[in-house]
């Protein structure tokens, strides 16, 4: 037969075990998914960089294509040198590409 003293000791041990289990479970829940979140953050950062790079390429193309058409027209009409001047935006883009 369990005495009152042993009963209170047993109850204390059970309560301590439950508390320790709750703490362990809480810690596991809080840390779950941290590596996945870090990977998602990294992928979002890489996508942001890629979007900025694509924006630069699209901006470059909006200037390059008309310039190429002007050069082709210049050649096809038989105009000699000098060729139409390279737009400053293209020069700036080429300069920025050299710095990377």
Burial of 34 (0-12, 13-18, 19+ CB in 10 A): exposed
For each of the chain's 100 residues, which pLDDT tens digit applies?
566 677 777 788 888 888 888 887 777 776 666 777 888 899 999 999 999 889 888 888 888 888 889 999 999 999 888 888 888 888 887 787 766 6
What is the pTM (predicted TM-score) of this model? 0.47
The b/e string for 67-82 (b: 16+ C-beta within 10 A; e otherwise) is beeeeeeeeeeeeeee
Please say whether the beta carbons of 63 and 85 come within 8 A.
no
């Amino acid at each position: 037969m369990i005495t009152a003293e042993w009963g209170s000791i047993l109850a204390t041990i059970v309560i301590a075990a439950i508390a320790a289990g709750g703490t362990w479970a809480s810690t596991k829940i809080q840390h779950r998914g941290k590596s996945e979140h870090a990977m998602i953050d990294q992928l979002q950062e890489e996508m942001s960089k890629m979007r900025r790079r694509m924006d630069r390429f699209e901006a470059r193309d909006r200037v390059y294509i008309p310039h190429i058409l002007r050069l082709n027209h210049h050649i096809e009409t038989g105009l000699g040198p000098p060729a139409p001047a390279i737009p400053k935006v293209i020069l700036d883009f080429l300069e920025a590409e050299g710095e990377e």
